Amino acid sequence: MAFRYPNGKRFIPSGTKPSKSLTGTSPQFGNRGMTLEEDLNETNEYYLQTGQAVIHKKPTPVQIVGVDYPKRSAATITEAYFKQPSTTDYNGVYSGKYIDFEAKETRNKTSFPFGNVHEHQVKHMERVVNQGGIAFLIFRFSPTQEVYLYDASHFIYWFREQKERKSIPKNDIEEKGHLVPQGLSPRLDYLQIIDRVYF
């Protein structure tokens, strides 16, 4: 099935892009255990079940344009378009505050490439911050399996002001970001970082 953006460009899911221009290397995360998205979904389910927070992955609205009907009981979607560009991956409420964040993995060892985040997503994070919400990014460096929470204001600075660069140096993420504790339940306990940084 082919999903397309409103401009007709074909959608390629995160983590399967073969282009080196976006990530610096050709990422193949399938053999490295759970993906960042799976870890976050499991974490958010734990937060929901324990009554700590209500945070979900945002569904992206699609418009179905092609359906194959091989038989009446087995319709298959063959082509669909995204109705609008996506904003960020996750949103919800924690301790009375709106939470909004993007989650990205990279196989780069020394930097996080800007090509992984788009202009409309940066604008969305700016709007969330301007309204008093909490916006950040969660990065996973796949070679080391390190996961960082990085405030949106730091990311926006690099994205907007450092025009000559195409990535954020990892040492800046280590310095200004926060290493997310990893375990079993929850898998990625980013709420304790939010408690420390934003409350």
Q: CATH code for 34-59+84-198?
A: 3.40.1350.10
Q: Is the pTM of this model over 0.85?
A: no
Count of H-run helices and E-run strands, the chain = 6, 11
Pick from 56-65, 119-128, 133-142, 161-170: least confident: 56-65
- What pLDDT shows up at residue 58? 81
Q: Where are the domains of the chain?
A: 34-59+84-198
Q: Distance (Å, rounded) from C-alpha 6 to C-alpha 195?
A: 38
Nearest to 88 by CA among 126, 47, 115: 126
Sequence ranges of the binding site for Mg(2+): 87, 89, 102, 121
Q: Is the pLDDT of residue 55 over 70?
A: yes
Sequence ranges of the binding site: 87, 89, 102, 121
Which residue's entry shows tokens 């976050």?
40
Answer yes or no: are the C-beta atoms of 158 and 168 closer than 8 Å. yes
Q: Is the pLDDT of residue 179 over 60?
A: yes
Please state, rounded to an integer, the average pLDDT across all residues of the chain: 82
Give the pLDDT band (50/70/90) at residue 9: low
